């Protein structure tokens, strides 16, 4: 009598979740170009071939990461101190996500570029534009884009350690400075 191992039952939903989580972590650490499907599969603990099966390509997995990061989050209001503090903490723990990276480095894949830009517009630029327009400020779209770019620059510079004092500063100290810049 041979002792055969029972066939391992696949849990596609769990495998997809693991792949999206692993891809999100690696994309935050390395960016799209330096993240391989092999690395994603290894981090997720599943066969890298499942990326093609479930998502079609690394680019489509990246888009799934963008959508998963959105979750139930409301668009980011940079004047909401608590939400901005949470974002600082999340980036300190996981690094800047793919949307922020796409804002400072153009993805080579047009589908990724389009998806990242749309998420950035919906999550950050549009809410700021509404606030600025509601305040009767001229060129609300331009103001929203400049404010978003400045905020992402602060987050990326802090994360990269490019500015020693910025990297060492407590987010509670930075929030009023960032918000003051936005309201000028």
139: left (phi over 0), alpha (psi -120 to 50) or beta: left
Residue 111 and residue 53 in one domain: no
Residue 56 and residue 85 in one domain: no
Cβ atoms < 10 Å from Cβ of 6: 5
Q: How many domains does the chain have?
A: 2
Give yes or no for a contact between 179 and 81, defined as CB atoms under 8 angstroms apart: yes
Give yes or no for a contact between 134 and 183, defined as CB atoms under 8 angstroms apart: no
Residue 114 and residue 90 in one domain: yes
What does the pLDDT profile of the chain (184 residues) look like in tens digits?
455 554 455 688 899 999 999 998 888 787 777 889 999 999 999 999 999 999 988 888 888 887 777 654 566 777 788 888 888 887 887 777 777 777 777 777 788 888 888 888 888 899 989 988 999 999 999 999 988 888 888 888 888 888 999 988 888 888 888 777 776 6
Residue 92 and residue 131 in one domain: yes
Residue 77 and residue 134 in one domain: yes
* Angle between helix 37-44 and 12-30 (nearest 10): 120
Task: Say if 124 falls within a structural domain.
Answer: yes
Domain limits at 65?
A: 11-72
């Amino acid at each position: 009598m041979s002792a055969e191992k029972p066939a391992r039952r696949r849990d596609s939903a769990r495998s997809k979740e693991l792949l999206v989580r692993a891809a999100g972590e690696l994309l935050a650490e390395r960016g799209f170009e330096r993240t391989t499907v092999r690395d994603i599969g290894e981090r997720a603990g599943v066969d890298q071939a499942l990326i093609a099966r479930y998502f079609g390509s690394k680019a489509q997995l990246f888009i799934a990461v963008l959508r998963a990061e959105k979750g139930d989050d409301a668009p980011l209001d940079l004047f909401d101190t608590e939400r901005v503090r949470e974002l600082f903490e999340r980036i300190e723990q996981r690094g800047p996500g793919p949307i922020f990276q796409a804002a400072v480095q153009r993805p080579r894949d047009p589908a990724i570029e389009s998806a990242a830009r749309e998420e950035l517009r919906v999550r950050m630029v549009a809410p700021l534009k509404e606030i600025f327009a509601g305040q009767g400020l001229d060129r609300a779209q331009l103001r929203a884009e400049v404010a978003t770019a400045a905020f992402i620059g602060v987050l990326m510079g802090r994360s990269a350690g490019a500015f020693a004092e910025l990297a060492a500063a407590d987010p509670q100290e930075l929030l009023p400075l960032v918000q003051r810049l936005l309201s000028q």
